[in-house]
Amino acid sequence: MPSILRSLLATIVGAAGLIAASPAPGPLPQRPNILLIVTDDQGYGDASGFAPTDVETPTLDRIARAGVRFTQFRVNPLCAPTRASLLTGLDSLATGMWRGPSEPGRAEARGKAKATAKVGRRPATEDPEDSTPDRGEPRRIRAGIRLLPELLREAGYATGLFGKWHLGYAPEESPNARGFDEFVGFLGGAHPYSLRANSRLRENGGPLAAEGHTTDVFADRAARFIRRQRDQPFFCYVAFNAVHGPLRSKEREADSALPRWLEHYAGRGLSPERRDYNAVLSHADQRIGGLLDLLGELGLTERTLVICHSDNGGITHTYPANNGPLRGGKGQTFEGGIRVPAVAQWPGVIPAGWTSRADAAHYDLFATMLAAAGLTVPARNGSHVVQGIDLLPHLRSGGQAALPERYQFWDLYGQCGALRGPWKLVGTIDNHHGRFGLAADAAERTPFVLFNLEQDLGETRDLSAEQPVIYADLKARHVAWLRQYAETPRAR
């Protein structure tokens, strides 16, 4: 045998021996705490551990060093569908939250907003995510679907949400009605950062009079919750509105960041818009770091699973978000709209300092957090099969336990996407307003494009003509996915 082959064989055998000799993961700590942090509209390139960037996110880097960095973690291209999926284990069409929730009186508010727009102004409270008129019944999470905090609370967890909800406005759709013992935040899709008399923050069932900056309010209240619940398992969901608008833009000459963070980015040659954006994001990153420090102070670091990710890609047509090498952004099914920075740590359970390139997704977190808590992941939620899978075997093995290859699908009122392995299908049909039978018909007759993400991360070369079998398979499955919701009763 040639010496080079003997050397290669010895290397392979030696590596296999190391793997075999590695101790198998022990039992999970019982009833760990869970800290889930979701940022808003943070692009893939707006985290220093994911792409070259001018924004500093040392806390996200800190979590990645202590645990895992996901480079192919995907969500929905809009925030409410993502939040619904991660709390239910279902895709957005199954949850009924295929777009932002219907808001009572929204039609009247849109009329006022249009009138304001005619004179060149836009109210700070207007949320573009809720700007499409309703067709048919209101959008809400379907009847019979249970949320993660409901299941955790039944298992003895204290549950708290601090920040953005955006999953319903009616009393029966409120965070407290859906499993949270404590809620401090806002119900809608956006909120100004500086708190004034027109604040819409709420504490549990009533208005909250608060001063300061939303990032500090949410982090402070989360810290108080953790301190109070230190002796029992808790689920703490921190949903910052950073870096969602309103931010400085060409149409809005006002900063949302605190002066000290604007000064931090002074003199770096950034545009005023990018300076405000970076300052808001770094402020949130620092407050995440403070929560990690608190876990350490209380001796809870090894007993707490921490997960942090963005709800969708960065918005680039209004604000100067950075999606790195990815095409597109928020509202689109190109990778820039659905692939986001994500990190997790659980010392002693998740090995430190490795990178997962698995196709993990937002709805996997539902199953993962339930499994971490020692609970059985339900086969169904409401009338639909739970699509999310438990990531813990993958995470505990440092990636040696691969995720199963699977199909994933996206739709955002006509922005379509499908994925299996490296193959990605993208297409656009007319806005169907939730009429999924019409959407399936339109998708069936509309040409889509096909990309190989391993060879073309920027999604620039259409391979549909060169790979007709793969194209036909992904297209047919996406159409079938849409069509299964054509006869599904709308949320009641």
Kindly list the catalytic residues.
79, 166
Starting at the edge strand found earlier in the chain, the sheet holding 234-239 runs 206-207, 202-203, 182-186, 158-164, 234-239, 33-39, 304-310, 342-345, 68-70, 354-356
Residue with tokens 């990178």: 355
Please state, in angstroms and rounded to a whole number, the distance separating the CA atoms of residues 50 and 43.
Answer: 10
Nearest 10 degrees: Cα torsion 249, 255, 256, 261? 120
The count of other CB atoms within 10 Å of the CB of residue 401 is: 14
Secondary-structure percent of the chain, ordered helix, strand, coil, rounded to 5: 35, 15, 50
Residues 85-120, buried b or exposed e (16+ Cβ, 10 A)?
A: bbbbbbbbbbbbbbbbbbbeebeebbeebeeeeeee
Residues 48-64, buried b or exposed e (16+ Cβ, 10 A)?
A: bbbbebbbbbebbbbbb
Please state, in angstroms and rounded to a whole number, the distance separating the CA atoms of residues 399 and 94.
Answer: 29
Please provide the DSSP assignment of 327-372 as one string: ---TTSSSHHHHB--EEEE-TTTSPSSEEE-S--BTTHHHHHHHHH
Residue with tokens 């808003």: 40
Residue 284's Cα: distance from chain center in Å? Answer: 16
Please provide the DSSP assignment of 104-138 as one string: TTHHHHHHHHHHHHTTT---TT--GGG-SPP-SSP
Two structure tokens written together for 357:
């390139």
Please state, in angstroms and rounded to a whole number, the distance separating the CA atoms of residues 326 and 339.
Answer: 8
Please state, in angstroms and rounded to a whole number, the distance separating the CA atoms of residues 459 and 465.
Answer: 15
Residues in the chain: 492
Please state, in angstroms and rounded to a whole number, the distance separating the CA atoms of residues 87 and 107.
Answer: 28
The residues, any chain, with a CB within 8 Å of residue 317's CB and separated by 6 or more, are 329
CA distance readout (Å), 328 to 43, 276, 314, 388, 459: 10, 22, 9, 25, 9
Please state, in angstroms and rounded to a whole number, the distance separating the CA atoms of residues 324 and 79.
Answer: 20
